[in-house]
């Protein structure tokens, strides 16, 4: 096999890169320095950050060279002779804002591990419940989200005209897209559908704790089941998720009501059904704006003083027997709520649930049971919310299908987990770090890495000539289980050196026996 | 325990739902019908679609009721007495387009399984290589993507002004965001970084086979390594991915070159470095537009006839020895390419690689090695592409750091897998289907489902009263391993009925012993 030539760019561009390259490392009888042992057994506690000062120097040198080079090269033909150190890509330097746009997030590795942990928990719970994952375009037709009930969501749309002059919007929620897909698929679908989505949504709104302009939302929906069993199953899945991430019933509860409570009151006062959505949206603001404003908005819809009074009184009820007393026991609202509490008992989450007539939720399409998860300390916004939307399909021009679902964002739950000290720092873990002890052996190290990866082992291959001290630091940072060293004399004998980093045990092993 | 009340909505809204509800199913000595046995052992082959005609009828009835109800209720107070069948959510029906916006996709369950399979393959390979996952906002500042080299990507931006009058864009690629994050994190990062992303990108362009306006892109980037080992490691990871999904070296190859080839030619003709990016972008169009147009565009930049001729001749070289003959062996271009081929041999993918000077790639920021994956039958666009971009950071106003990476979309590879017959139909698989044999036992079935889920078993809980024939069909559709039936007499004895669907074996088991 031909020896790997020393890369010329390495020598020309990075003369200082060899600064730490000690000839002793090329020795075949490599010794693990005693200082590196300090990393053993402390892998999850001590993950040092080391800014690699020698690298940093090289970079800033490079950068200066670029900066001085650009202006003189502009315009006339300033071709250079000598070493072909590449010039800047274009003539222009454009200082950018290094922060992500307002309300959005970057996910560096540590945050990404957290996001994956949470989003995978959503997915695992959904699969436990036998739900199938679906997704929809992030960019949807604006018309899908614009309803006439005065919802907050409409004013917060990220919408624009695309190059084909179509009005489009970044989805603020997932349910309308789901309804669109169900309508599109039509009779080819076997009901009931149990679908879940974990997807990004946008709302251009004022940012508060646990609310950004972009977030991930977990949705589960059951399409085609009219009975309360479906609503009960959904809440059960949320409880399972909460338990899985360490939340208990003393941290979180669910407020449950039914929009049919409001509907029954409205019908007593002969208020037309087509005002129902608007009334719900106004009433949902009851904790956000002064109650006189709520009253005035209701009156502006043409609802009488008496009806408004009755509505507000009923909304203050937080006991199911009291509701039954007020509305009678023949209506659907009371019957469904009673059934839900009975099922909650069977599912095993009755203690998480409480009736609260003031819960109506802020989306106009809900028709029946509605619920929201809240932190019992009352510090945060709703953790999740959902309900039954039996008529969304017909408002889109499709045939109605009974349906219910919920949305559960990734922001408030993380705030709560932080509050409760339940947010674990997840560390990177790579099984092997493979390192050549000699620049000439980088090809050999590549072979070793490839072999291990073919056996399913995760490998961080050291891509440069680095001192062993550096390699041990990196091994500690990535929580490597073992270090595989490719040295010249071992390699000639078909062997590599192995050090188990947790125990310090070190040995030589035949390449073929490396598992 | 209180019996589960029959949900009133069930009776009122869905009178025909009981159509198939046969009293015999309530019998304790349930028998599995012989017809259902046909589903045994055929679970991956025969997954029938059954449109549930009785359901469909109910739905269209509901829809008609809604349609006739709405107008009469509009305006004056048309309150109704009698059963509280909920009215439409709002007064307005707005027929929507059931298709996703042009160039975007829905992911119904079967497509989502495919997407998950492919995207998880990307992630698994990245982890094998010790890369850490990162992500960035989908909505970025427009300035991040607008370079002055005349790239196609700039004209295809989905960009708009947000509510705060900021110019924003849906990201067309991931690399600029990565560079932004690296600049933001600055010295807190330990180099080298090995980062990967699997994220959605948008380009508003004409759609062709394997190209939509929205796609998922897998990126792997190595930040802080100047040598060719990094480029070689990246191509190795792509080969690992391709092998994993069933693609061989006779299906796909990589064309490799270095932008330093062009640079060396340009410098021979004293063409200023600041034209380099623009020249690359023009040359990248060589297979898309007539060569006379390419020549004219180059001349318009002020490049002499001779230089253009030389450029085009060098670009036609597809043998490394020939290139060495032409450029001499002292330059970086030839040295790096030779090293790459040598390393490819060690990594074990030399046979996938071929030198082709015509490869320059369409992004202006590449500075060194560039490569693209192509199908050997020449039917499709590039499968993936990447290269070294050692100066992107300084064009953003940061310190330069040597870097390289690639992008690999989810569209062309799927086309290729289809071509090769390698795209498997992935079927849904849920371990258990749990069903109450009596409406009164739905709460009991919930308990059974909860128990199994707590043990980590996936469960599809039947949420309605359905005939056993329906349950068997559903079990077949979801590829359930076993059916757990909750019948009255068994339940009273603390038992449930189990049927193993692959063998037909059926037995009773104590609830506590159900694993």
Residue with tokens 């705030």: A415
Looking at per-residue pLDDT, the higher value among A170 and A424 belongs to A170
Distance (Å) from the C-alpha of residue A494 to the closest C-alpha of chain B?
15
Pairing of strands B214-223, B193-202: antiparallel
Asked if B112's CB is within 8 angstroms of A132's CB, the reply is yes
| N-to-C CA span, chain A | 24
Rg (CA), chain B: 31
Chain B residues touching A336 at Cβ < 8 A = 7-9
Distance (Å) from the C-alpha of residue A31 to the closest C-alpha of chain B?
25
pLDDT of B66 > 50? The answer is: no
Nearest of A125, A69, A123 to residue A93 by alpha carbon: A69
Burial, B21: exposed, middle or buried (Cβ in 10 Å; 0-12, 13-18, 19+)? Answer: middle
Asked if B139's CB is within 8 angstroms of A59's CB, the reply is no
- Which of A50, A272, A477 has its CB closest to that of B75? A272
Which candidate in B143, B229, B451, B478 is best for mutational testing of the A interface (most A CBs within 10 A)?
B229
- Which of A107, A227, A278 has its CB closest to that of B9? A227
- Which of B137, B399, B402 has its CB closest to that of A101? B137
Give, in order, the Cα–Cα distances in Å from A91 to each of A68, B273, B276: 12, 8, 9
A388: left (phi over 0), alpha (psi -120 to 50) or beta: beta
Asked if B428's CB is within 8 angstroms of A106's CB, the reply is no
Confidence (pLDDT) at B53: 31
Which candidate in A5, A142, A229, A435 is best for mutational testing of the B interface (most B CBs within 10 A)?
A229
Lowest mean pLDDT among A482-486, B70-74, B311-315, B446-450: B70-74
Number of A/B CB contacts below 8 angstroms equals 558
Confidence (pLDDT) at B247: 98
Taking only the tens place, the pLDDT of each residue in B403-438 is: 999 999 999 999 999 999 999 889 999 999 999 999
What count of other Cβ atoms lies within 10 Å of the Cβ of residue A26? 17
Asked if A460's CB is within 8 angstroms of B130's CB, the reply is yes
Asked if A276's CB is within 8 angstroms of B395's CB, the reply is no
Residue of chain B whose Cα is closest to the Cα of A116: B133
CB of A202 closer than 8 Å to CB of A170? yes
What is the 8-class DSSP label of residue A149? S
Chain A residues touching B267 at Cβ < 8 A = 79-80, 84
Which candidate in A69, A105, A108, A197 is best for mutational testing of the B interface (most B CBs within 10 A)?
A108
Which candidate in B158, B274, B465 is best for mutational testing of the A interface (most A CBs within 10 A)?
B274
Asked if A224's CB is within 8 angstroms of B55's CB, the reply is yes
φ, ψ for residue A73 (rounded to 5)? Answer: -85, -10
Chain A residues touching B224 at Cβ < 8 A = 52, 55
Residue of chain A whose Cα is closest to the Cα of B143: A96
Structure tokens at A174: 């997932």
ipTM of the complex: 0.83
- Which of B1, B128, B463 has its CB closest to that of A453? B128
Confidence (pLDDT) at B91: 52
Which candidate in B243, B346, B390, B451 is best for mutational testing of the A interface (most A CBs within 10 A)?
B346
Alpha helices in A227-347 (DSSP H): 228-244, 259-268, 276-284, 291-300, 305-315, 320-327, 332-347
Q: How confident is the model at residue B170 (pLDDT cuts 50, 70, 90)?
A: very high
Confidence (pLDDT) at B54: 32
Taking only the tens place, the pLDDT of each residue in A277-319 is: 899 999 998 888 898 999 999 999 999 999 999 999 999 999 9
Residue with tokens 């307005």: B92
Confidence (pLDDT) at A53: 31
Which candidate in A89, A106, A205, A281 is best for mutational testing of the B interface (most B CBs within 10 A)?
A89
Distance (Å) from the C-alpha of residue B375 to the closest C-alpha of chain A?
24
Distance (Å) from the C-alpha of residue B382 to the closest C-alpha of chain A?
23
Confidence (pLDDT) at A210: 65
Nearest of A466, A480, A467, A477 to residue A433 by alpha carbon: A480
Strand intervals (E) in A74-165: 132-133, 139-141, 158-161
Q: Say how far apart CA B114 and CA B426 lie, in whole Å.
A: 7
Confidence (pLDDT) at B60: 30
Pairing of strands A353-355, A139-141: unpaired
SS (H, E, C) B361-415: CCCCCCCCEEEEEEECCCCCCCCEEEEECCCHHHHCCCCCCCEEEEEEECCHHHH
Average pLDDT for residues A402-417, to the nearest whole number? 97
Chain B residues touching A140 at Cβ < 8 A = 100-101, 104
Residue of chain B whose Cα is closest to the Cα of A431: B130
Chain A residues touching B233 at Cβ < 8 A = 446, 461, 463
Nearest of A184, A328, A128, A100 to residue B178 by alpha carbon: A100
Q: How confident is the model at residue B163 (pLDDT cuts 50, 70, 90)?
A: confident
Taking only the tens place, the pLDDT of each residue in B365-383 is: 999 999 999 999 999 999 9
Taking only the tens place, the pLDDT of each residue in B104-124 is: 999 999 999 999 999 999 999
Q: Say how far apart CA B48 and CA A312 lie, in whole Å.
A: 51
Taking only the tens place, the pLDDT of each residue in A263-274 is: 999 999 999 988
Average pLDDT for residues A227-234, to the nearest whole number? 98
Residue of chain B whose Cα is closest to the Cα of A263: B86
Taking only the tens place, the pLDDT of each residue in A39-84 is: 333 333 222 333 323 333 223 332 333 332 333 333 333 333 333 4
Distance (Å) from the C-alpha of residue B383 to the closest C-alpha of chain A?
22
Chain B residues touching A178 at Cβ < 8 A = none
Q: Say how far apart CA B426 and CA B60 lie, in whole Å.
A: 32
Asked if B84's CB is within 8 angstroms of A331's CB, the reply is yes
- Which of B9, B66, B460 has its CB closest to that of A332? B9
Taking only the tens place, the pLDDT of each residue in A308-367 is: 999 999 999 999 999 999 999 889 999 999 999 999 999 999 999 999 999 999 898 999
Asked if B269's CB is within 8 angstroms of A79's CB, the reply is yes
Q: Say how far apart CA B395 and CA B367 lie, in whole Å.
A: 13
- Which of B2, B106, B181 has its CB closest to that of A181? B106
Confidence (pLDDT) at A424: 84
β partners of residue A459: A432
Asked if A428's CB is within 8 angstroms of B79's CB, the reply is no
Give pTM, 2 decimals. Answer: 0.83
Taking only the tens place, the pLDDT of each residue in B68-99 is: 233 333 333 333 333 344 444 445 678 889 99
pLDDT of B257 > 80? The answer is: yes
What is the 8-class DSSP label of residue B122? H
pLDDT of B328 > 50? The answer is: yes
If you average pLDDT over every residue of chain B, what do you get?
A: 84
How many helices (H) and strands (E) chain A has is answered by 17, 16
Q: Helix axis angle, B332-347 relative to B320-327, nearest 10°?
A: 160
- Which of A14, A190, A338 has its CB closest to that of B49? A190
Distance (Å) from the C-alpha of residue A71 to the closest C-alpha of chain B?
9
Sequence-separated (6 or more) residues with CB below 8 Å from residue B487: B26, B27, B28, B30, B437, B438, B441, B496, B497
pLDDT of B9 > 90? The answer is: no
Q: Say how far apart CA A155 and CA A169 lie, in whole Å.
A: 12
Residue of chain B whose Cα is closest to the Cα of A79: B270
SS (H, E, C) A174-210: CHHHHHHHHHHHHHHCCCCEEEEEEEEEECCCCCECC
The CATH class that applies to domain B109-419 reads alpha beta
Architecture of the structural domain at B8-47+428-513? 3-Layer(aba) Sandwich (3.40)
- Which of A147, A200, A398 has its CB closest to that of B138? A200
Distance (Å) from the C-alpha of residue A151 to the closest C-alpha of chain B?
12
Taking only the tens place, the pLDDT of each residue in A133-191 is: 999 999 999 999 998 888 888 888 998 888 888 899 999 999 999 999 999 999 999 99
Chain B residues touching A198 at Cβ < 8 A = none
Extents of the domains making up chain B: 8-47+428-513, 109-419
Q: Helix axis angle, A276-284 relative to A305-315, nearest 10°?
A: 60
pLDDT of B35 > 70? The answer is: no
Asked if B397's CB is within 8 angstroms of A95's CB, the reply is yes
CA A411 to chain CA mean position, Å: 8
Asked if A8's CB is within 8 angstroms of B332's CB, the reply is yes
Confidence (pLDDT) at A337: 97
Sequence-separated (6 or more) residues with CB below 8 Å from residue B428: A132, B109, B113, B477, B478, B479
């Amino acid at each position: 096999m031909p020896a790997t030539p020393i890369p010329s760019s390495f020598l020309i561009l990075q003369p200082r890169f060899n600064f730490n390259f000690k000839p002793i490392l090329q020795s075949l009888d490599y010794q693990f320095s005693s200082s590196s042992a300090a990393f053993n057994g402390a892998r999850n506690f001590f993950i040092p950050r080391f800014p690699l000062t020698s690298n940093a120097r090289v970079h800033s040198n490079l950068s200066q060279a670029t900066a001085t080079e650009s202006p003189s090269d502009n315009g006339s033909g300033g071709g250079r002779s000598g070493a072909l150190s590449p010039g800047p890509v274009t003539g222009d330097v454009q200082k950018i804002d290094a922060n992500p746009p307002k309300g959005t997030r970057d996910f560096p590795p540590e945050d990404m591990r957290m996001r994956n942990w949470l989003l995978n928990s959503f997915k695992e719970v959904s699969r436990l419940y036998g739900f199938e994952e679906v997704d929809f375009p992030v960019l949807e037709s604006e018309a899908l989200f614009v309803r006439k009930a005065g919802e907050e969501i409409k004013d917060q749309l990220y919408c624009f005209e695309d190059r084909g002059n179509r009005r489009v919007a970044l989805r603020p929620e997932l349910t309308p897209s789901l309804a669109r897909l169900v309508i599109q698929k039509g009779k080819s679908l076997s009901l009931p559908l149990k679908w879940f989505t974990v997807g990004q949504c946008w709302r251009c709104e004022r940012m508060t704790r646990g609310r950004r302009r972009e977030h991930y939302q977990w949705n589960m929906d059951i399409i085609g089941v009219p009975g309360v069993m479906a609503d009960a199953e959904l809440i059960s899945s949320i409880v399972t998720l909460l338990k899985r991430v360490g939340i208990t019933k003393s941290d979180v509860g669910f407020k449950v009501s039914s929009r049919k409570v409001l509907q029954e009151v409205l019908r007593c006062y002969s208020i037309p059904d087509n005002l129902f959505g608007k009334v719900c949206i106004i009433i949902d603001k009851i904790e956000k704006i002064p109650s006189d404003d709520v009253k005035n908005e209701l009156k502006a819809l043409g609802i009488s003083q008496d009806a408004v009074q009755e509505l507000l009184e009923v909304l203050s009820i937080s006991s199911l027997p009291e509701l039954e007393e007020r509305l009678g026991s023949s209506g659907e609202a009371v019957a469904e709520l009673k059934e839900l509490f009975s099922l909650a008992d069977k599912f095993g989450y009755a203690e998480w649930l409480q009736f609260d007539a003031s819960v109506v939720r802020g989306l106009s399409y809900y028709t029946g049971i509605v619920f929201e998860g809240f932190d019992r300390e009352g510090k945060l916004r709703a953790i999740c919310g959902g309900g039954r939307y039996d008529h969304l399909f017909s408002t889109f021009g499709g045939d109605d299908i009974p349906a219910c679902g919920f949305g559960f964002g990734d922001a408030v739950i993380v705030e709560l987990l932080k509050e409760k000290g339940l947010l674990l720092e997840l560390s990177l873990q790579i099984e092997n770090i493979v390192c050549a002890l000699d620049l000439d052996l980088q090809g050999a190290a590549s072979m070793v890495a490839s072999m291990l990866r073919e056996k399913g082992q995760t490998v961080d291959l050291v891509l440069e000539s680095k001192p062993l001290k550096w390699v041990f630091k990196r091994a500690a940072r990535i929580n490597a289980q073992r270090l595989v060293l490719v040295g010249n004399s071992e390699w000639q004998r078909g062997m590599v050196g192995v050090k188990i980093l947790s125990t310090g045990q070190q040995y030589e092993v035949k390449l073929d026996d490396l598992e």
